[in-house]
């Protein structure tokens, strides 16, 4: 019986794997200093998509960064970042639509609405380890305490201090730990420290995320540099996780906000790790106006080039968030085409990208395209079973309501072993399309999330 042989092989492989795990764990336990021994084990769990090193982001004239270890929750790492932005900068932002959003999100929204540009400077203060979300009146009190102290330290009005907090929900934020390091942060401020800032805002991220672009403006170059963090509770709704993008462009705040908002649906709103939308998602974009290029005018070539570059930076950061999704071993692009409306295409793409059955099949390198069919069917968006075409990469696995007569399990299974996969679904109904990005669902996701608070 081939079934039995397969089972024996599988069990033998499992024994091998478990034995080597036991060996490693025992070695680690024997060593006296467990802390030091544990660190390499953790770093062994870095996303397979982590870049070899953080990208070289250009310095943005008018922005300085600093980070520090405040001990908000994590020990032995930085957990607070400060960005100081020059007077006259234009600011824009998009935020989570969650009805239970955190105090700092509401505070940022109010401040941005009232005061997008100012002849005074601005600052962004972010801590990791505690989300300061669902903390009642204490939430706003902490935001006020931090904003006030940052304002005092940097000589700004508090209304120009934007804050974000990311980490566990519902725990009181020990904000004095943050305000205690503001002096240190001020002395450290440097235009070159953006990579340290990207590290300080990480939670379950396994690598810091950065992206940049340069745009040919009229009379000079415009630079864009951004950082982001993931990597669980990622299913942004009209907003994003924590992202900070800086540019030296000279641009009016309303145009900046418009250009930003236009990109969100196809970048951060087009990713999902686990279908759980956060209470704290925030993207803030600051334009310092320090570039030698002329101010950007709506519709000009330079503005169009800027929009394109901004979109590229946002797409890059969004994809990095998915690549570092909790437990991710596969990066999956879901392309839905032939829909009647973009909304339908988006709904179906997200239904596939969020399906635990699709995501576990991908983790198991199983070409289980039937689960893609089920995910299309359950979405509620308009689809006709017998018009569907489903592709894995370039392989047409199914068309006209059934498996492709030339379907090869071998070829499709070989494709599934790739780290980056494309699932294509053509609905055969119209011209609308949508591409979203997701990752697989693995044991590591459960390891991380069954024990996050402790």
Residues 275-294 that bind its own copies (CB under 8 A): 275-279
**Region binding its own copies by CB under 8 A among candidate stretches 63-71, 109-117, 176-184, 233-241:** 233-241
Which residues, including other chains, have CB under 8 Å from residue 431's CB and lie 6 or more apart?
A: 338
Q: Residue 111 corresponds to which tokens in the numbers above?
A: 């401040």
Which residues, including other chains, have CB under 8 Å from residue 93's CB and lie 6 or more apart?
A: 108, 109, 112, 162, 257, 260, 282, 283, 284, 285
Footprint (CB under 8 A) of its own copies, residues 235-254: 235, 237
Footprint (CB under 8 A) of its own copies, residues 26-85: 26, 28-29, 34-35, 38, 75
Nearest to its own copies of 257, 351 (CB atom): 351
Among 403, 411, 422, 433, binds its own copies (CB under 8 A): 403
Nearest to its own copies of 19, 152 (CB atom): 19
Q: Could you tell me the smallest distance in angstroms from the CB atom of residue 390 to its own copies? A: 9
Residues annotated as binding site? Answer: 203, 229, 240, 326, 449, 454
Among 53, 137, 406, 410, binds its own copies (CB under 8 A): 137
Relative to beta strand 122-130, strand 80-85 is: antiparallel
Burial of 197: CB neighbours in 10 Å, binned 0-12, 13-18, 19+: buried
Q: Could you tell me the smallest distance in angstroms from the CB atom of residue 450 to its own copies? A: 3
Q: Length of the chain in residues, anyone?
A: 454
Q: Tell me how far CA of residue 205 lies from CA of 128, 198, 305, 439, in angstroms.
A: 11, 10, 31, 14
State the Cα–Cα distance between residues 272 and 323, nearest whole angstrom.
Answer: 11
Footprint (CB under 8 A) of its own copies, residues 148-207: 168-172
Does the annotation mark 187 as catalytic?
A: no
Give the position of tokens 């544990």.
38
State the Cα–Cα distance between residues 62 and 443, nearest whole angstrom.
Answer: 44
Find the DSSP H helices in 47-102: none
Among 205, 248, 274, 307, binds its own copies (CB under 8 A): 274
In three-state secondary structure terms, 53 is coil
**Region binding its own copies by CB under 8 A among candidate stretches 4-12, 63-71, 108-116, 185-193:** 4-12
State the Cα–Cα distance between residues 441 and 443, nearest whole angstrom.
Answer: 7
Give rounded-to-5 percent helix, strand, coil for the chain: 40, 25, 40
Nearest to its own copies of 39, 46 (CB atom): 39
Footprint (CB under 8 A) of its own copies, residues 410-449: 441-443, 445-446, 449
The answer to whether the beta carbons of residues 98 and 281 sit under 8 Å apart is yes
According to the binding rule CB under 8 A, does residue 378 interact with its own copies?
A: yes
The answer to whether the beta carbons of residues 415 and 395 sit under 8 Å apart is yes
Q: Could you tell me the smallest distance in angstroms from the CB atom of residue 443 to its own copies? A: 5
- Tell me how far the alpha carbon of residue 139 is from its chain's centroid: 24
According to the binding rule CB under 8 A, does residue 265 interact with its own copies?
A: no
State the Cα–Cα distance between residues 448 and 353, nearest whole angstrom.
Answer: 20
Q: Could you tell me the smallest distance in angstroms from the CB atom of residue 448 to its own copies? A: 8
Phi/psi zone of residue 54: left (φ > 0), alpha (ψ -120 to 50 degrees), beta?
A: beta
What are 165's strand-pairing partners?
127
Among 48, 51, 136, 292, binds its own copies (CB under 8 A): 136
**Region binding its own copies by CB under 8 A among candidate stretches 2-10, 175-183, 186-194, 212-220:** 2-10
According to the binding rule CB under 8 A, does residue 131 interact with its own copies?
A: yes
Count other C-beta atoms under 10 Å from residue 79's C-beta. Answer: 28
According to the binding rule CB under 8 A, does residue 371 interact with its own copies?
A: yes
Q: Which of 166, 179, 240, 389 is catalytic?
A: 240
Footprint (CB under 8 A) of its own copies, residues 88-127: 96, 98-101
According to the binding rule CB under 8 A, does residue 360 interact with its own copies?
A: yes
Q: Could you tell me the smallest distance in angstroms from the CB atom of residue 100 to its own copies? A: 3
The answer to whether the beta carbons of residues 222 and 248 sit under 8 Å apart is yes
Footprint (CB under 8 A) of its own copies, residues 381-400: 382-386, 388, 398, 400
Among 257, 267, 269, 354, binds its own copies (CB under 8 A): 354
Residues annotated as binding site for substrate? Answer: 203, 229, 240, 326, 449, 454
Q: Could you tell me the smallest distance in angstroms from the CB atom of residue 62 to its own copies? A: 35
Q: Could you tell me the smallest distance in angstroms from the CB atom of residue 367 to its own copies? A: 8
In three-state secondary structure terms, 454 is coil
Residues with catalytic roles = 240
């Amino acid at each position: 019986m081939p079934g039995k042989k397969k089972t024996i092989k599988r069990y033998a492989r499992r024994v091998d794997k478990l034995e080597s795990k036991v060996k490693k764990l025992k070695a680690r336990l024997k060593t006296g200093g467990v802390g030091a021994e544990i660190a390499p084990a953790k770093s062994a769990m870095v996303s397979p998509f982590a870049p070899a090193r953080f990208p070289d982001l250009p310095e943005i004239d008018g922005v300085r960064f600093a980070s520090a270890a405040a001990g908000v929750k994590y020990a032995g790492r930085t957990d607070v970042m400060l960005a100081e932005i020059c007077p006259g900068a234009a600011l824009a932002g998009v935020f989570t639509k969650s009805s239970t959003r955190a105090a700092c999100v509401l505070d940022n929204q109010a401040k941005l609405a009232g005061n997008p540009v100012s002849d005074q400077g601005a600052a962004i203060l972010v801590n990791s380890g505690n989300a300061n979300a669902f903390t009642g009146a204490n939430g706003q009190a902490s935001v006020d305490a931090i904003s006030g102290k940052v304002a005092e330290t940097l000589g700004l009005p508090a209304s120009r201090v934007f804050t974000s907090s990311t980490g566990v929900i519902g725990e009181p934020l020990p904000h004095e730990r943050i305000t205690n390091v503001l002096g240190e942060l001020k002395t450290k401020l440097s235009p070159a420290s953006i990579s340290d800032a990207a590290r300080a805002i990480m939670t379950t991220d396994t690598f810091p995320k950065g992206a940049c672009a340069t745009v040919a403006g009229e009379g000079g170059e415009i630079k864009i540099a951004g950082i982001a963090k993931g990597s669980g509770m990622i299913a942004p709704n009209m907003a994003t996780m924590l992202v900070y993008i800086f540019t030296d462009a000279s641009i009016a705040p309303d145009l900046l906000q418009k250009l930003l908002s236009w990109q969100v649906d196809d970048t951060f709103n087009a990713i999902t790790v686990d279908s759980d939308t956060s209470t704290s998602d925030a993207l803030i974009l600051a334009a310092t106006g320090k570039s030698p290029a002329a101010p950007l005018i709506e519709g000009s070539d330079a503005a169009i080039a800027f929009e394109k570059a901004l979109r590229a930076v946002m797409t890059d950061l969004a994809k990095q968030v998915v690549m570092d999704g909790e437990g991710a071993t596969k990066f999956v692009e879901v392309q839905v085409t032939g829909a009647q409306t973009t909304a339908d295409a988006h709904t179906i793409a997200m239904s596939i990208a969020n399906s635990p059955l699709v995501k576990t099949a991908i983790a198991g390198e199983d070409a289980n395209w039937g689960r893609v069919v089920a995910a299309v069917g359950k979405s509620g968006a308009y689809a006709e079973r017998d018009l569907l075409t489903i592709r894995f990469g370039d392989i047409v696995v199914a068309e006209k309501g059934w498996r492709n007569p030339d379907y090869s399990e071998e070829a499709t299974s070989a494709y599934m072993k790739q780290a980056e996969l494309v699932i294509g679904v053509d609905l055969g109904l119209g011209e609308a399309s949508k591409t979203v990005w997701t990752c697989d669902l693995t044991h590591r996701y459960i390891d991380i999330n069954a024990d996050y608070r402790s």
